[in-house]
Amino acid sequence: MSERAIIHVDMDAFYASVEQRDNPALRGRPVMVGGSSRRGVVAAASYEARQYGVRSAMPSARARRLCPAGVFVAPRFERYREVSAGIFRIFRGWTDLVEGLSLDEAFLDVTEAVVSGDSIQDIGLDIKRRIADEFGLTASVGMAHNKLLAKIASDYDKPDGLFHIEPGAVQRYLDPLPVQRIWGIGPRSGERLNDAGIYTAGQLRQTGIDVLERLFGEHGHDLRLRAAGIDERVVNPERERRSVSQESTLGEDLHRLEEVMSLIERQSTKVAVKLAEKGLYGRTVTLKLRSGSFSTFTRSQSLAGYTRSTRVIGSTACTMLRRWADWRTEFSVRLVGVGVSGLAEHPDETDIID
Active site residues: 105
The values of phi and psi at residue 108, to 5°, are -125, 135
- Residue in 162, 115, 152, 341 with CA at minimum distance from that of residue 244: 341
Q: Are 109 and 4 in contact (CB under 8 A)?
A: yes
Whole-number Å distance between alpha carbons of 229 and 174: 7
- Residue of 253, 252, 251, 207 whose CA lies nearest to 226: 207
Cβ neighbours of residue 135 closer than 8 Å, sequence gap 6 or more = 21, 83, 86, 87
